Structure 1
Amino acid sequence: MSSYWDRERLLRSTILAGFAAAGLTVAPSWAQQAEDDEDEEQAEQAEDSIVVTGSRIRRDSFSSTSPLQVIDAETVTEAGLVDTAEIIRSVPVIQGAQLDQTINNAFVTNGGPGVNNVSLRGLSADRTLILINGRRMSPAGVEGAPSFPDINLIPSSIIQRVDILLDGASSVYGSDAVAGVINIITQQDYEGLNIEGYVSIPEDDGGENQRYSLLVGDRSERGGFNFALEYFDQQNLRANQRDWNRNEAGFYCSQDIDLDASGNRITSSATRPNTCGGSIVNRVRVYSTLARPGGGLLLGTDVYRFQGPAGVALNTVDPRSPAGWFTAATAAGRTFMSNLPEAQSYPSAQWSDILPSNTRYSMFLTGDYDIDSLFGIEGTTFFFEASHSNSQTFQNSNFHGQLFPTVPDSNPTNPFTYNNGASFYGYGVVPIISSPTQRSDVDVEIQQTRFLTGLRGDLGFIGAPGWDFESFVSYTRSMGYSSRGAVLEERLRLSLATTRFDGGGNLICGDPSYIDLFGFLDPENCVPIDMFAPSLYTYDPQTGPQWGSQAETDFLTGERTVTTKVDELVAGAFVTGPLFNMPDGEVSGVFGWEFREIGLDSGVDTVAALGLAAGFFADQLSQGSVNLNEFYTELSFPLLRGRPFAEDLTFDIAGRLTDHEFYGQNSTWAAKLSWSPVDYLTFRGTAGTSFRAPNVRELFLGGQTGFTGGGADPCVVPQAAIPGGPGSYDPTLDPRSPTVLANCIADGVDPTTLGQTGVPSIQSFRAGNPGLDPETSDSISVGFAIDQPWFDSFDFQFGVNYFEINIEDSIAIPGTAFSLNRCYNSTNYPNDPFCARRQRDPNTGFLTFVDNTPFNIAQQSSSGVDYNARFGMDVWGGARLEANTVWTQSIEITNQTTPGSAINDVVGTIGFPEWRGTVDARYIQGDWTIFWRGRYIGAQDNLGVFGANEPNCEFTGCVDVVDDVDSVLYHDLSVSWRSDTWRVTTGVNNLLNEDPPLVDQNTADATLGGTNVPLGAGYDMIGRRFFINVSKRF
């Protein structure tokens, strides 16, 4: 009798023999192998009529003319993976920066905080279609206009396998299937009850996670069901819980990492021991008119710092300074720029989360029931799916952001004018502090509920033997809720502008000019705010700065909330069956229709809508809907079978007509050819087009604000160029290119002085663009697969697949740092399109605004080669040895902004390695399995990108920004034991405890905030961790 675990292994071997992986084409002989197997269950499975991802035509074997990769449930367990997003990201075809929980704490990412998406071929998640059992998964998220599915809302315990289709499939599945399709196949025929528990514990604290699940199913002659219930919990990982994030001075932060002229690695802390990346805070700028040495007056700026902890060197005391405040002064006269040791926001950064805490509850129900007779139609099956997921994420970024309001000289709390008595000629005093409210800390809850029902059966009752039909309708609602702390701007303005002494010498505030004679209006609520309270300047880095009193905290602290709702209705129907006979087989076809409507309603509270939170613009309502009708067909022609040099020659074609509400009618097509000259060798090729209309985010995003550190401005002096602090600029240490420096000067700012004493954050804005054009693309793939027939002692399959995808009118949503780098490194400044998307304050010289609204660029492309090999053989003592390896080589991933402009190839740059690969090996002895996996990520660098230096320091001859990383190989190891009902797997991930690579914090916007790790590039930040997975079947 076959156990449950034997059937799982059987399924895995059957699928992998058929699909192999990463572009390995199926040869019919691999299905015939199953027929020769003595195992009756496998023979029965091979004889069933099935549908393979990439086509709706029913076939008699696991075969496809499209390149496919398969992730099976057993490999997932042995590799210690339980997170659905982590499972899918484990394959090499996942390329480019992936939106995961380390990135999505940002303000304006698609889906908002805590959402997980994936991107195939480096073409972004917009062009990767996610399916559940062959049908679209709906978007989910919060803040703005989410357009991507959150794949972690699917309980991993219900997953039977994941099919990854690696060519454009718009003609089969519709819009978005440009780079490929990820089809998550759930359990359909499981019988029994399975209870499973998983725990992963890192060697160092932080990042622990656990999952507990229940899977139950039953099946009778007329139907069955499967139900999964799952709980997942991930603990947060803080920056100060990993030593690789700590600089030489002991601080956990992002920093400059450079090479000197001799090639020695140096960091900013090597020359400036207390320097980390971040905005300068804990200062007061006092504006005054000063006497020129040669006569006349000059408006200048003195920078004061509150007395710091004991042992910190302070500059000469200014005789005009209030008690406890110090400024820069020399015998030659007052300087306009402080040379004080920098007080930055890095102490608090050590408490920020690299990984947020996340708790998920999810359930999934699927089933079917044979109906005896429906309206006189025999052989009809009713099927259904229902799911509900709840994900709660809290991200502690410990990013407070800057507050720098002007305190008038009439305010009694101002020690520089009102109390000190020094004459500053009425100019404002500007304290620069870290906000006591951590505006980037966010609490998120996302829920998604999905219902699907339909009918399938045969059409024999109308005299069409062999023809089947299927119809379905699904409805999904996704709800997202987010909450962020805020400083209430109007209250702060009111207090600072109106604080005064009353007749009794008490501080009061509020508008003194308005009196309500009859008391109809309540008295104005106001609390005097002391912007110079010591608690705002000296504080515990874990708790951060505090307002001077609880009354001030209560008065100024508010909440900024967003509620996002996404509804999607999908209905469809198709028929499939034989059309006519050819000499060597039947021509089969599919004819279908699908309707889809998606609606978005993302609203903000009053604080967000009116811009009442300090440091935020007013966010707008994101609202809209779009619908489309699609008609499609597929035809499969068995041109030759069983002929000399043509064991199988099959030609498939597909077409789809899309009628879009806003973009009218568009058509796509695909053609595929598979040729097996002999039963162990198959050649295959595909060609086709795809169509992607702008999604709801790109069309209807109402307007979101975000923030980027001021250091992203290429015109701001790099920290490495001021080794002695402000005023010590050394041009030989400046890594910027002459092009950048010249463009900054042309922009009216001095790139040798800007930002030496502090840089405010840059506000970004993103909104929908109804003027976008749809994307069109074409793709090709060619490959071969061989299944060696010469030796019975071992199995060996090998396959190669070349792919190429070209997109026209690609929709781009640039990031702030990307846009700025493209502008200031452009030889076409200021006429480069990216230069029109930023604003600079003519008085301060600082950037104040960057427009990240989506727009159409000229083209985007991706090409490369997938390689796969699989080996298996029986060895001594009844044991078996198996190995499987999958590699992807990226040849080009390019983009071009406008026709005629430079084509940028990003292969080999941060996030886009040329090579990715995995190697799996198993040793199976009876009930025991030893599993090893190697995960390889190739070397990457941003040399020569956006003006970064070449190793010989071509721009300055002295300092080189560290913007390259070596290749890395992670090792995972596990041991499994199984019986008929028990299964135990224990192992270790990242066996050698490899630290993630570190690059300079200014490397083309490529580092995770608060660290120097390239973001979204697949690097392991948790470190060595031990896991155990125990399941019991009843």
Structure 2
Amino acid sequence: MKNNSAITKAIRLALLAGATGTAMTAPIAMAAEGDEVERIEVTGSRIKRTDLETPVPVTVIDRSQMDAIGALNVADVLNSSPVAIAGSDQSNTSFSTTSVGLNTTSLRNLGEERTLVLVNGRRFVSGIAPSSGYAVDLNSIPTSIIERIEILKSASSAVYGSDAVAGVVNIITRNEFEGVELDSQYGISAAGDRGTWEINLTAGKSWDSGNAYATFGFDDDEGLKSSDRDFSAQDLAYYADENGNDVSGPLYSSYPPQGRVSFSNNDGETISLNADGTEFMADGKFNRAAYRQLVSPLQRRYAAAGLTQELSDTVRFFSEFNYNNSKTKGSTIEPTPLDVNEGVFLQDRNGTGGIDINSPLIPEMLRSQLQAAGITNMNETEFVRRLVEFGPRSTDVRRDTIRMLAGFDWELSDSWTANAYYSWGKTDQWQDNGGQLNIERALNALDVVEDDEGNLICADEHARLQGCVPLNLFGAGTVSQKAVDYTRSPAKATGQAEQEIFAASVAGYLPVELPGGEIGSVVGYEYRIERGSYQPGDLAQTGSSSTNRAQPTDGQFYTNDLFGELALPVLDTLSVNLAARYSDHSVVGGNVTWNAGVEYSPIESLKLRASAATAIRTPNIADLYGGRGETFASVSDPCSGVSLTDTGSIAENCRANPAILARMQAHPDGIFELTQAELQGTGGTIGGSELVQEEEAETYSVGLIWQIIDDISLTVDYYDISIDNAIASTGRTTVLRRCYESDPSQFDPTCQGQVVRNGDGALTEVDTGTANENQIDTNGVDVEITYSTELFGGDFNSSIAYAWLGEYVRTSIESADSVDYAGEVVYPENRAVMNLGYRLNQFDVSWRMRFWGSVVDSKDGDNLNLGTGLPLTNANHIDAVTYHDLNFGYEFMDSARAFLGVRNVFDKTPPLLPQATNYGGTGINTASEAYDVTGRYFYAGVSLKF
């Protein structure tokens, strides 16, 4: 197609204006007829071409968009696009240990693991602990080296390989940067907190045979405590008022700093006392939010460099280097809640169990009331306490990511080129967790006697030699510093993700011409190996600390891929693109994926396009080899309530267990009846599974690009994505049901080693892992409009990017139950970004509006009013929210630019989503993926060029 077509002009407008609109500062340069035009590679195809269009929709975010909102992190810009949402961010990971401080992205809300992130068209190493998942941490890519971001809004496994199910984010760097640029910025919220600042230096030089660039920088985000904002300062939930409406109110923890002891007296009444024996009152409960993090602090130090050098007239060498050090220090949550009986005196640790009623630790007021109820040991009570003396549970995480890449381009002839490169990347994670309790030492410190002088000492002499002092949990402030020092558990963990890639390809134009021109082609090979390991602390692995028990992760896999692509210009107005890839995965075997696209221009100003593709996501290290971690999520025993006379497979399989049968026979009604403690006390583990297979997706899109008039362009695209065998963790109740519904002749009481019952027949452990559990179907429409014109002697530009979500249905493969999430909080049916920009001489101004449509917290009533135990009513609906951002800039000559701006100009407070809502983040009382948690935010900076 001709390079100066109206459609190409529309695409160039989009490239300059960006997906979310940027200030255009230069006229569009169009090649004249007959001029030599360089072929370029556009995201979505490996075939270099002279035009900018492809059959699949691509959205572009220009560098000036990052400048316009003062973004320190590329995630701040990328996740504001209507087609992307945060997978992990500094708020929704604040309650996590392994993922705190991450910034990832998820296209179409299909998950960060189904969004492939590239740098200059090539894969980047994962930044997530291999036990937790797989995704590029956007913290690792400094904004100072980014030229633009191209978002391919369609599956593209045939072109780029596994994981490109939702689409591709391709970050293009400033490879031909010339000169020296010094950038500095400072920001602070209207409340005077969350200070941020950055400074970076970028330098580049071009010469006749090559170019080089390097950047170095540092930035710091101080973060926010939950107590810094009214909406998150108190742990909240919804209750009912006198009219039955949902109203928010405090939600306190029943694990108080003074301890709480609950038991039944001789009349069957439940009695709750403070651990010193005084009456337990509601105001003695605990506000967890006082210790929680609203935004995790984050520091980054980074360096990046690139070199391109022509070695001869036909050979060019290229290389890239990235290093990033990110630290999250001082991210906290509330002190450890300790269930003394369950958390310390577990039967696999100490057969005696519990604290004897005559222990000198027990205050006399408490002892007398317990004895009056016939209690002889504390294990006959519920004894819980908040370990405030140990300080908050803290997470300090350091991640070092390094990536090196080198390759060659060969010009084989006027029509053919070859490319080969090797890349290696690694992310190391070091993690220190504070505020944990050493369970083994706590056992010693709770076993107390009086010495000859009446002093309390640890009963075990060997433990005393190691520094053991009594751990007095009976009252507020009763734990001494020496007891804290003795029983404190240092919790360290390390992880490593590593990636190696070798790829080679040959591209060129076949000696056969179609009516529309030459046939472009690419064939290539790619070898990729992924390695991952994660080592929890020794005490976490043995279950000897107050954190959940966890096993290490260690594994690797490799793929061998062959791929090819054809660009067929059937007519001047009609072209077809075809691509295919064969991937041989070392665990799941071989798979074929393909892409097919067509473009048709009935008139010069209009292009119609359609594409269809298959894609795969092969299981990652976490899916396959994720170490088992302890879980206490609720589980339903299929044998509960089964009787001696019930028929069917479940009943027969339940009665096959002698302990269950004995309890039925002893029960007056002949049923297997569990106590409340047994119903709630089922432990177990969750982890990876080497049996998991690849996900498979089918996608298609149809759309148009229309240059309405010279200054207005429109793109509209409909998409449809269907994912089969989506990987998820199998619910533990599902594990049990599948096992007990099996034919009695094939029934295994251990359910292939996943289920353990005790001597009374009660479940003590149900394990689960990853499996191919679901089908996901989603569709919608993307619309982008750009407009630019001269106005009052300056340049005005505007853009609108709008996304409509038709459906987002997740269906269980096993049960066929379906849920359509479209219209829920993080699945808005309507989402848009509008930008207005104006430039006059050295002055520029931009205004951005971010729209998040009205949503509900749940369409199926799976949220709760804690006062009634019923689904939310009026609080289930959340009104639409629009955020406004303003930026001013001024250029001093050609070498300096100063800017200042405001994000969330009208200081919108996020909608309230507290505990028991579907999407409320723990500790933040809202959904940070959708709503701004910081409030009005000011920033200013300067950029100097030399």
TM-score (norm 1): 0.78
Q: Determine the C-alpha separation between the residues in 2 that align with 1:829 and 1:511.
A: 46
2:798 paired with 1:883: yes
Q: Determine the C-alpha separation between the residues in 2 that align with 1:911 and 1:591.
A: 40
RMSD after superposition: 3.7
Amino acid in structure 2 at the alignment position of 1:102: S
Amino acid in structure 2 at the alignment position of 1:491: R
- Aligned partner of 1:457 in structure 2 is 410
- Aligned partner of 1:383 in structure 2 is 318
Note the 1:588-603 alignment, pairs <5 A: 588-603=520-535
Contact persistence 1:588–1:636 (CA under 8 A)? yes
- Aligned partner of 1:133 in structure 2 is 120
1:637–1:897 Cα change, 3 Å: same
1:12–1:354 Cα change, 3 Å: farther
- Aligned partner of 2:649 in structure 1 is none
- Measure how far apart 1:430 and its partner are: 5.0
Amino acid in structure 2 at the alignment position of 1:390: N
How far does the alpha carbon of each residue in 1:646-672 deviate from its partner, in whole angstroms, 9 at most, with x for none? xx2110000000011111111000100
Amino acid in structure 2 at the alignment position of 1:88: L
- Measure how far apart 1:407 and its partner are: 2.6
SS at match of 2:361: coil
Q: Determine the C-alpha separation between the residues in 1 that align with 2:357 and 2:240.
A: 47
SS at match of 2:444: helix
SS at match of 1:157: helix
Amino acid in structure 2 at the alignment position of 1:656: R
2:312 paired with 1:364: no
- Aligned partner of 2:577 in structure 1 is 652
2:612 paired with 1:687: yes
SS at match of 1:535: coil
2:395 paired with 1:442: yes
- Aligned partner of 2:507 in structure 1 is 576
- Measure how far apart 1:523 and its partner are: 4.4
1:200–1:492 Cα change, 3 Å: same
Contact persistence 1:279–1:761 (CA under 8 A)? no
Contact persistence 2:258–2:475 (CA under 8 A)? no
Q: 1:587 aligns with which of 515, 519, 533?
A: 519
2:98 paired with 1:98: no
Note the 1:533-612 alignment, pairs <5 A: 533-535=475-477, 547=479, 549-579=480-510, 580-612=512-544
1:344–1:695 Cα change, 3 Å: same
Q: Determine the C-alpha separation between the residues in 1 that align with 2:339 and 2:575.
A: 70
Q: Determine the C-alpha separation between the residues in 1 that align with 2:716 and 2:399.
A: 41
Contact persistence 1:412–1:418 (CA under 8 A)? no
- Measure how far apart 1:509 and its partner are: 1.5
- Measure how far apart 1:57 and its partner are: 0.3
1:472–1:407 Cα change, 3 Å: same
2:775 paired with 1:859: yes
Note the 1:240-639 alignment, pairs <5 A: 240-245=227-232, 252-258=233-239, 260=241, 262=243, 264-269=245-250, 275-276=251-252, 282-285=258-261, 287=263, 290-292=265-267, 302-305=271-274, 325-327=277-279, 340-341=281-282, 343-346=284-287, 348-372=288-312, 378-405=313-340, 406-416=354-364, 422=371, 424-428=374-378, 430-436=382-388, 437=390, 440-460=393-413, 465-485=414-434, 486-497=436-447, 499-511=448-460, 523=465, 525-535=467-477, 547=479, 549-579=480-510, 580-617=512-549, 619-639=550-570
Amino acid in structure 1 at the alignment position of 2:554: Q
Note the 1:971-1010 alignment, pairs <5 A: 971-978=884-891, 979-1004=893-918, 1006-1010=919-923
Contact persistence 1:105–1:442 (CA under 8 A)? no
Amino acid in structure 2 at the alignment position of 1:63: E
Contact persistence 1:232–1:359 (CA under 8 A)? yes
How far does the alpha carbon of each residue in 1:452-494 deviate from its partner, in whole angstroms, 9 at most, with x for none? 000002113xxxx310011000111210001112200001112
1:303–1:208 Cα change, 3 Å: same
Contact persistence 1:385–1:452 (CA under 8 A)? yes
- Measure how far apart 1:79 and its partner are: 2.1
Contact persistence 2:100–2:296 (CA under 8 A)? no
Contact persistence 1:977–1:985 (CA under 8 A)? yes
- Quote the sequence identity (%): 25
Amino acid in structure 1 at the alignment position of 2:584: D
Q: 2:787 aligns with which of 846, 871, 880?
A: 871
Amino acid in structure 2 at the alignment position of 1:179: A
2:686 paired with 1:766: yes
How far does the alpha carbon of each residue in 1:626-681 deviate from its partner, in whole angstroms, 9 at most, with x for none? 0010000000000111xxxxxx2110000000011111111000100011111110
- Aligned partner of 1:6 in structure 2 is none
- Aligned partner of 1:543 in structure 2 is none
Q: Determine the C-alpha separation between the residues in 2 that align with 1:863 and 1:230.
A: 41
Note the 1:692-707 alignment, pairs <5 A: 692-705=617-630
SS at match of 1:891: strand
Q: Determine the C-alpha separation between the residues in 2 that align with 1:50 and 1:442.
A: 46
Q: Determine the C-alpha separation between the residues in 1 that align with 2:838 and 2:760.
A: 67
Contact persistence 1:409–1:418 (CA under 8 A)? no
Contact persistence 2:131–2:627 (CA under 8 A)? yes
How far does the alpha carbon of each residue in 1:12-63 deviate from its partner, in whole angstroms, 9 at most, with x for none? 9974445976699xxxxxx9972259xxxxx98x922110011110101222
Amino acid in structure 1 at the alignment position of 2:87: Q
How far does the alpha carbon of each residue in 1:251-293 deviate from its partner, in whole angstroms, 9 at most, with x for none? x223222464747552235xxxxx44675664432657x545x
- Measure how far apart 1:412 and its partner are: 0.8
1:153–1:570 Cα change, 3 Å: same
SS at match of 1:962: helix
2:167 paired with 1:167: no
- Measure how far apart 1:1010 and its partner are: 2.1
- Measure how far apart 1:551 and its partner are: 1.2
SS at match of 1:167: coil
1:980–1:528 Cα change, 3 Å: same
- Aligned partner of 1:928 in structure 2 is 843
- Measure how far apart 1:367 and its partner are: 1.2
1:425–1:697 Cα change, 3 Å: closer
- Measure how far apart 1:134 and its partner are: 0.5
1:207–1:762 Cα change, 3 Å: farther
- Aligned partner of 1:678 in structure 2 is 603
The count of aligned residue pairs is 869
Q: 1:72 aligns with which of 62, 73, 78?
A: 62
2:876 paired with 1:963: yes
Q: Determine the C-alpha separation between the residues in 1 that align with 2:806 and 2:740.
A: 32
Amino acid in structure 1 at the alignment position of 2:46: R
- Aligned partner of 2:748 in structure 1 is none
- Measure how far apart 1:404 and its partner are: 2.4
Q: Determine the C-alpha separation between the residues in 1 that align with 2:760 and 2:127.
A: 41
Q: Determine the C-alpha separation between the residues in 2 that align with 1:622 and 1:466.
A: 48
- Aligned partner of 1:1030 in structure 2 is 942
Q: Determine the C-alpha separation between the residues in 2 that align with 1:694 and 1:305.
A: 50
- Measure how far apart 1:524 and its partner are: 5.2
How far does the alpha carbon of each residue in 1:557-608 deviate from its partner, in whole angstroms, 9 at most, with x for none? 1211111111111000001001121232000100000000011121233222
1:107–1:931 Cα change, 3 Å: closer
Q: Determine the C-alpha separation between the residues in 1 that align with 2:626 and 2:735.
A: 25
- Measure how far apart 1:107 and its partner are: 3.9
Q: 1:58 aligns with which of 44, 48, 55?
A: 48
Contact persistence 2:432–2:493 (CA under 8 A)? yes
- Measure how far apart 1:244 and its partner are: 2.7
1:923–1:762 Cα change, 3 Å: farther
Q: Determine the C-alpha separation between the residues in 2 that align with 1:1029 and 1:846.
A: 64
Amino acid in structure 1 at the alignment position of 2:163: D
- Measure how far apart 1:697 and its partner are: 0.9
Contact persistence 1:218–1:224 (CA under 8 A)? yes
Contact persistence 1:510–1:526 (CA under 8 A)? no
Note the 1:737-776 alignment, pairs <5 A: 765-776=685-696
Note the 1:810-959 alignment, pairs <5 A: 810-813=726-729, 853-876=769-792, 878-899=793-814, 901-948=816-863
